[in-house]
Homo-oligomer: A and B are copies of this chain.
């Protein structure tokens, strides 16, 4: 017992005199999985690598965290600078820290995921790739991706795992949070919302119970407008209202 106390005190003293520049330590980066739903599939933004490491593989938008920058701020900066995206839903996902995940050096990567309405344009050299989520994707396993040319894409680092975990996370969240709206423009029909849910979950939803669930969730508000020129009865347009307003 006394031993353990001394040990703890030694550690305290070490900490008090700890000079971070005298010790090796990891670099901290942020990677962002940008997800959107289009044509019945999830898509993400990837960047082709050009250097010798993971040459011609594709990576998530990412970068190092500034010394006076919070993790959230770093993620928002990357979204803005690399993709021209501002004001989107952004949440921390998981921190990946395997010692060998970057063969050049020790990098601890704080992964974020962002949800973007697919009608928003994307600036920069990023490519929008379709995700192929195996059913184990629900368990957070790696995903595959198909580029705009239809060819499968090779991932750099552990980014296939990051995307798999992001898909798992939003699948779980869909059940108890209004996260699905983040993938739609401001006004949308119930059919649109259902398609987004089905795209994310990878399985069909019952139409009627989906309607009822959404309408009595108190998260939808009719805009009073309807679809135009659709060749059949137009659906009502809704918008998302956040719970705090109720």
Q: How large is the interface on A (under 10, 10 to 19, 20 to 34, 35 or more residues)?
A: 35 or more
18 new A-B contacts, CB < 8 A, other than A26-B28, A65-B97, A68-B99, are A1-B125, A4-B125, A5-B125, A8-B47, A8-B82, A8-B124, A11-B63, A13-B51, A20-B105, A21-B24, A25-B67, A28-B97, A70-B98, A71-B108, A95-B95, A97-B110, A108-B108, A108-B110
Q: Among B4, B25, B97, point to the contact of A70 (Cβ < 8 A).
A: B97
Q: Among B50, B64, B106, point to the contact of A67 (Cβ < 8 A).
A: B106
Query: In whole Å, how far is A144's beta carbon from the nearest beta carbon of chain B?
Result: 24
A87 within 8 A of partner (CB): no
Q: Which residues of B contact A47 (CB under 8 A)?
A: 8
15 A–B contacts from the bound complex (CB under 8 Å): A1-B125, A5-B125, A11-B63, A12-B51, A13-B51, A20-B106, A24-B67, A25-B27, A26-B67, A28-B28, A28-B108, A68-B99, A70-B98, A71-B95, A97-B110
